[in-house]
Chains A and B, each alone.
Chain A
Amino acid sequence: MSSLVEVDDLTVQYPVGRTMNVVAVNAVSISLDAGSVLGLVGESGCGKSSLGRAIAGIRPPASGRIRVDGRELGDSRRRSDARLVQMVFQDPSSALNPKLTIGSMITELLLVHGLVPDRAAARSRAEELMTSVELPASALDRRPDALSGGQRQRVGIARALALEPKVLIADEAVAALDTIVKASIVALLARLRNELGLSILFISHDLGVVKQLCDEIAVMYLGRIVERRRTQDLFSSPRHPYTAALLAARPRIGQRLDISTPPALAGDPPSPMDLGEGCAFASRCPRVQDECREVSPPRILGADQQAVSCHFPLTAG
């Protein structure tokens, strides 16, 4: 049984200076089933955004393969590929063209892709899209500066949905929003997922948000996936020490900070250009052994059951 999204051995690099490259995504394999929501979490520099952008066709990978709905997606995307994967961006103030009305932006997409026969039909479809993201039809005649951050983000979702993609990639789609608005957008995504059977790759640094929306969660650290579990399992019994640290580091309501205990995770991540052999987390892992420094832990592959990439994972309990 194949998944909707299959990523094999994907590597994404960025040039640094003239001669060097920093590896943002390190030979990652990941898969997403139709109709499910996968959370991709990690801290800055873990590569989650780069992975998302590579799948969306925004940034070509250095190597590896991406398949969506059985079709292989190459480095340069064809127009029809846009109907497979679409992205919702983080920053509501730069994700929309300030000079275009919402309506003209959406109708352009619909017409260019031949999804509607004429302008009237395009307008009507655009109105449907506005309704599905809980915005009034009159929003179509406004420019982005007339909308609030949350409203703009809804427009961003509508734009992504206009092409009826199989997969939606939300790249920190709620990170820039206020708390209450954040919750409403997450609720919207949950609703859309239920009504449209949408598959979503939800990239976020915020574990709390991910918990509400996602069926499964994959945790990334320095370009690798270190754990992938069902949401409840991840939160109740994380197996990778990094995941455990991340969960412990979250501030929780009702808990006073106890400074007599050490921080959940000490120090800073090593430079991504400086990674040697062995586990990327070895330098900060509380359970590190010699083997960790010398041998890379087994990778989590796209569709297999190996859920944690660690030599000495935490056991349940």
Chain B
Amino acid sequence: MTNSLLRVDDLRVAVRSRGSLGDVVHGVSFELAQGEILGIVGESGSGKSLTLRAVCDLLPEGVERTGGSVDVHLPRASTGSTAHGYLGRGMAMVFQEPMTSLNPTMRIGDLVTIGPRSAGTMTKAQARERSLELLRDVGVPDPERRMKSWPHELSGGLRQRVMIAMALATEPSILLCDEPTTALDVSVQDQILRVLMSMTSTRGLSMILVTHDLAVVSQMCDRVLVMKSGLVVESGTTADILHSPKQDYTKSLIEAVS
């Protein structure tokens, strides 16, 4: 309770179509403790992505939060504007599709620190140094040269590293990852998951990891929420969920990958 960074209570999200609202998330509650990696696992249509986006106020057009509360208690106050809610001010997001999430008209070096630079918290020289440092941290080989590359020149794995660097540039306390490795080959996924894990542990970050892959959850997460059709079906520690699942749905998910 005392060191929970995030408390979500009865979160509800609805999609607006043709004038009326249709619920897609029907009341989700959870907490995120300091230093914890929380997994939200579910199939397509379970509402896991929308839940994540509702937390940081990044819902797409036509989708709105219709109820519940999101309480954020960040350890350090972040300055600067720009943000969507807490994005850029304590929270940062890593998206699924590195192909489309990086602005193709900007060089890597500029992309990494775009957040702090537009918030006005860095000079150009500071930004350059910071970009270099972050690219090194996330394991981009030959970072000086890579600073000048364009997104399309990078492989999927490299782009995802850049995206992680971008997220870290805003010095978040919470990292929100929406299927960060789903579009990647398995060997690249392995690399990226390691980067995420090491970044969160060295920086003392907390993370919410949304994925459909139970095995990824098993590798990365301390606790898990299993979602289906907009509801949390089961939640608990990773070990509990995987070894002694209580709900049929959870059991069928585990069975399907074993």
**In A43-102, which residues have CB < 8 Å from any B CB?**
43-44
Interface status of B257 (Cβ within 8 A of chain A)? yes
Give which listed residue, A180, A246, A251, A266, contacts B218 with CB less than 8 A.
Answer: A251
The answer to whether B185 and A180 have CB atoms under 8 Å apart is no
> In whole angstroms, what is the CA distance A205 to B213 when docked?
15
**Chain A interfacial residues counted at CB < 8 A:** 30
Interface status of A207 (Cβ within 8 A of chain B)? yes
Give which listed residue, B141, B186, B255, contacts A205 with CB less than 8 A.
Answer: B186
> In whole angstroms, what is the CA distance A180 to B212 when docked?
11
> In whole angstroms, what is the CA distance A161 to B189 when docked?
35
Q: A180-B43, A253-B214 are in contact. Are A44 and B185 (CB under 8 A)?
A: yes
Residues on B with beta carbons closer than 8 Å to the beta carbon of A207 = 186
The answer to whether B216 and A251 have CB atoms under 8 Å apart is yes
Residues on A with beta carbons closer than 8 Å to the beta carbon of B155 = 268
> In whole angstroms, what is the CA distance A165 to B134 when docked?
54
> In whole angstroms, what is the CA distance A252 to B243 when docked?
13
The answer to whether A253 and B141 have CB atoms under 8 Å apart is no
> In whole angstroms, what is the CA distance A268 to B254 when docked?
31
Most buried by A among B156, B214, B219, B258: B219
The answer to whether A43 and B185 have CB atoms under 8 Å apart is yes
Interface status of A265 (Cβ within 8 A of chain B)? yes
Residues on B with beta carbons closer than 8 Å to the beta carbon of A179 = 43, 212-214, 253, 256-257
Residues on B with beta carbons closer than 8 Å to the beta carbon of A43 = 185-188
Stretch at the interface among A136-144, A256-264, A286-294: A256-264
Residues on A with beta carbons closer than 8 Å to the beta carbon of B103 = none
Stretch at the interface among B54-62, B71-79, B116-124, B191-199: B191-199
The answer to whether B187 and A252 have CB atoms under 8 Å apart is no
Q: A43-B187, A183-B256, A264-B190 are in contact. Are A251 and B219 (CB under 8 A)?
A: yes
**Chain B interfacial residues counted at CB < 8 A:** 36
Q: What's the dominant secondary structure at chain B's contact region?
A: helix
Residues on A with beta carbons closer than 8 Å to the beta carbon of B158 = 268
Interface status of A111 (Cβ within 8 A of chain B)? no
Interface status of A182 (Cβ within 8 A of chain B)? yes
The answer to whether B43 and A249 have CB atoms under 8 Å apart is no
> In whole angstroms, what is the CA distance A250 to B44 when docked?
22
Interface status of B101 (Cβ within 8 A of chain A)? no
Interface status of B247 (Cβ within 8 A of chain A)? no
**In A237-296, which residues have CB < 8 Å from any B CB?**
245-246, 248-257, 259, 263-268
Q: A208-B257, A253-B242, A254-B242 are in contact. Are A263 and B218 (CB under 8 A)?
A: no
> In whole angstroms, what is the CA distance A128 to B216 when docked?
40
> In whole angstroms, what is the CA distance A256 to B216 when docked?
9
Q: A259-B198, A259-B201 are in contact. Are A264 and B187 (CB under 8 A)?
A: yes
Residues on A with beta carbons closer than 8 Å to the beta carbon of B201 = 259
The answer to whether A251 and B187 have CB atoms under 8 Å apart is no
Residues 166-209 of B, flagged 1 when their CB comes within 8 A of A and 0 if not, give 00000000000000000001111111011001100100000000
> In whole angstroms, what is the CA distance A246 to B156 when docked?
17
Give which listed residue, B188, B191, B215, B253, contacts A251 with CB less than 8 A.
Answer: B215
The answer to whether B191 and A263 have CB atoms under 8 Å apart is yes
Residues 227-257 of B, flagged 1 when their CB comes within 8 A of A and 0 if not, give 0000000000000001100000000111111
CB distance from A81 to the nearest CB of B (A): 33
CB distance from B256 to the nearest CB of A (A): 4
Interface status of A178 (Cβ within 8 A of chain B)? yes
14 additional contacts (CB under 8 A) given A268-B157, A268-B158: A43-B185, A43-B186, A43-B187, A178-B43, A179-B214, A180-B256, A183-B255, A248-B190, A249-B190, A250-B190, A250-B215, A251-B216, A252-B218, A253-B218
Which 8 residue pairs of A and B lie closest in terms of their CB atoms, listed nearest first?
A251-B215, A43-B185, A249-B190, A265-B187, A183-B256, A178-B43, A257-B219, A249-B187
Residues of B within 8 A of A (CB): 43-44, 141, 155-158, 185-191, 193-194, 197-198, 201, 212-216, 218-220, 242-243, 252-258
Residues of A within 8 A of B (CB): 43-44, 178-180, 182-183, 205-208, 245-246, 248-257, 259, 263-268
